[in-house]
Homo-oligomer: A and B are copies of this chain.
């Protein structure tokens, strides 16, 4: 729960407000920017692209639905819809899970892999131009630490996904 603390709310200082606004501003613009870039160059929103990336890095390019949803930080419902769409594109297919008859694997197809290989350079370049080309090495390091702290704090209880994110 997020309740107001007793003794009145602890408002943000002027500096904190400025930082918060800059954060909202930057993250909004970044998400828009990448969504448009990928929609234009790969025909899908950023989050869908992320799913293909996850699959491409998984052993045998496949993953259980629930695990994929967890890795990509989306709900199972959203993943179902997303995979249905990617299936229509021919980039992913579903496969029954051998060990658990309830289970499904999402599998990256060869077409999906090719599409990823084609669009990855442009996407990386977009990320680089928007972020890494503009920051000093110290800033990059600092940003990594800060984002790690924030993510850890927001991580649902009992989730172990910690180390993998900083390697």
Contacts and interface: CB of A to CB of B under 8 A. Distances in A.
B25 A73 contact: yes
B124 A12 contact: yes
Nearest to A142: B142
B145 A139 contact: yes
Number of copies: 2
Contacts of A165: 18, 21-22, 25
A76 to B, nearest CB: 14
A127 interface: yes
Q: Chain A interface residue count: which class?
A: 35 or more
A153 interface: yes
A132 to B, nearest CB: 5
B73 A143 contact: no
Interface in A1-38: 2-5, 8-12, 14-16, 18-33, 37
A10 B139 contact: no
Contacts of A31: 27
A18 B134 contact: no
B29 A144 contact: no
A130 interface: yes
A82 B62 CA distance: 39
A148 B26 contact: yes
Contacts of A103: none
Contacts of A128: 10, 12
B139 A2 contact: no
Contacts of A140: 15-16, 19
